[in-house]
Amino acid sequence: MYAQMIKTAGTGVKSREEMSEQERAFQDKIDADIKIEPKDWMPDDYRATLIRQIGQHAHSEIVGQLPEGNWITRAPTLERKAILLAKVQDEAGHGLYLYCAAETLGVSRDEITEMLLDGRMKYSSIFNYPTLNWADIGAVGWLVDGAAIMNQVPLQRTSFGPYSRAMIRICKEESFHQRQGYDAIRKMAEGTPEQRKMAQDAMNRFWYPSLMMFGPSDKESVHSAQSMAWKIKINTNDELRQKFVDQTVPQAEYLGLTIPDPDLKWNEERGHYDFSEPDWSEFFDVIKGNGPCNVDRLAARNKAWDDGKWVRDGLLAHARKKRGAKVAAE
């Protein structure tokens, strides 16, 4: 789960002559792979871009719990249920690590939450697709978490210390997510003809939305160039997408599942698979709010926030009362 289509603040990469002395010192640290910590000086645009990026990443972890949470009560065995529960709990944890990293940049948890709830901030497009059956849960772990790992592994080296540390923790846990998904879909791919059909159907529906997770090509983008100079983006979207396809094709072949792309084939010269681009008009439509589940996802988050208010307020009132009593007794 991660951020996509983050608008980089600023006007693009400055030359050294255009930079102030502070900006030059900042860029030198980044070039020398010295981490930037919250109290260090940083350009306003770096801070603003990171809040957007880490915030969207965190929101994706939290909203990402919904499509999978949908199947916890209907998991086919007690073991699968326990595994899925642990996986969804991990996603909550990942969201929390990331929110804390964003907060070190000066945004409060409530502010950033409210920006998700009122639509000012986005989450990954992938979670606006439904999980229709158990095979989809396997496909989400295998493909969606697989695509997320591609993006998250390089981000462990990102220049902002708290973000980097959050990514290191997350990556340690993410491999479990992908493996449990592959294991679940493998069981179905090796099962009855009906189960096999369900696995193929899930693959058909999740393949292109997974490719969209990397975002449209950004090799010409000045914004991406700035984010890369700041090392808050490590690879281009196309590089990561290619890596994901190259890694996933043999995994699908092992399962005997067909990737729904007639043009997919190994290119000996490039040493990579050639593949079809997803339908980017669908992607932009989903981002705009017109995906199959956008309304449901935001409604579920808003309901959880509103329904939880009395709990948050009550626990805080209790804590204040207890503290008051302690002070009075001293």
Partner 1 sequence: MNNEWPLWEIFIRGQHGMSHRHVGSLHAPDAEMAIKNARDVYTRRNEGVSIWVVEANNISASSPSDKGPLYEPSESKVYRHPTFFDIPGEVGAM
- Can you count the helices (H) and strands (E) in the chain? 14, 2
Written as one string, the DSSP assignment of 59-119 is: HHHHHTHHHHHTTGGG-SSHHHHHHHHHHHHHHHHHHHHHHHHHHTTT--HHHHHHHHHTT
* Choice between 116 and 202, CB closer to partner 1: 116
Phi first, then psi: what are they for 211, rounded to 5°?
Answer: -65, -30
Compute how many residues bind partner 1; rule: CB under 8 A. Answer: 27
Would you count residue 22 as binding partner 1 (CB under 8 A)?
no
Please give the Cα distance from 120 to 98 (Å, whole number).
Answer: 18
Would you count residue 117 as binding partner 1 (CB under 8 A)?
no
The amino acid at residue 215 is: G
Would you count residue 37 as binding partner 1 (CB under 8 A)?
yes
Would you count residue 306 as binding partner 1 (CB under 8 A)?
no
- Using the contact rule CB under 8 A, the part of the chain among 198-206, 230-238, 266-274, 315-323 near partner 1 is 315-323
Residues 63-102 that bind partner 1 (CB under 8 A): 86, 89-90, 93, 96-97, 100
* Choice between 112 and 143, CB closer to partner 1: 112
Position of tokens 């951020």? 3
Chain centroid to CA 61 = 6
Please give the Cα distance from 240 to 270 (Å, whole number).
Answer: 15
* Binds partner 1 by CB under 8 A, chosen from 16, 39, 270, 288: 39
- Using the contact rule CB under 8 A, the part of the chain among 56-64, 164-172, 228-236, 277-285 near partner 1 is 164-172
* 265: helix, strand or coil: strand
**x/- track of binding to partner 1 for residues 187-206 (CB under 8 A):** --------------------
Which residues make up the interface to partner 1 (CB under 8 A)? 37, 39-41, 86, 89-90, 93, 96-97, 100, 103, 108-110, 165-166, 169, 173, 312-313, 315-316, 318-319, 322-323
